Structure 1
Amino acid sequence: IGAAAAADGAPLGDIISGRIAGWFDSPGGEEPRDLYHRLVAEIERPLVELALKRAGGNQVRAARMLGLNRNTLRKKITDHKIVLTKFPGG
């Protein structure tokens, strides 16, 4: 798998770095808290949703695409409150 890039050609790492830098520069000069979990949640939810969509709603296939155990995927679905939908071809 090659380096991920956004539609505008910017590497995903650069986009993420810019987003994180904004979190460090919070108004009021307060020290940021829980950045790791905020970032993981922001990336993980759309990743899981897209895998489920590509797998036609099949959780076993989506888990395999993501390299996860099905039970781990189920926990992520629950944690992110992802609404399960049947997709065509699934």
Structure 2
Amino acid sequence: MSAETLANDNRLPNAGDDIHQLQTVNSTGNAVTLRDSVEVALKNYFAQLDGAPVTDVYQLVLSEVEAPLLEQVMKYTRNNQTKASTMLGLNRGTLRKKLKQYGLL
């Protein structure tokens, strides 16, 4: 994909945009933000609990978001850990630890 195509792709954030502004188009043609998707998933999750005790919701959500994030960034950077760590704003050692944690290394 050329730089011009990327610049004109409104699904991708500009530098400085918040992650919650990442959008995709759902099957009905409506734009859905990552934030909206997480909110809907959590509402559905809590609705199904029916009062059952819950622990580790933070880790549950983090692992559901972090694993595909790491996978896609590694694909985008062609498995270049230095580029990926810079892109993610992580120390390269931290990136390696997370890649191992999710079985991506």
TM-score of the superposed pair, with normalisation by structure 1 = 0.82
More RCO (CA 8 Å, sep 6+):
1
Q: Give me the CA root mean square deviation.
A: 1.5
Residue among 56, 59, 70 paired with 2:81 = 59
* Alignment match of 1:7 (pick from 21, 25, 30): 25
- Normalised by the length of structure 2, the TM-score is 0.71
2:71 to 29, 49, 66: 49
Q: Flag structure 2 segments of 5+ consecutive residues without an equivalent.
A: 1-13
Structure 1: 5+ residue runs without aligned partners?
Answer: 85-90
Comparing 6-15 and 41-50, the one that deviates more: 6-15
| CA–CA separation in structure 2 for the residues paired with 1:64 and 1:12 | 22
Check if 1:81 corresponds to 2:103: yes
**In the TM superposition, what is the alpha-carbon distance from 1:7 to its structure 2 partner?**
2.1
Instruction: Confirm or deny that 1:39 pairs with 2:57.
Output: no
Identity of aligned residues (%): 33
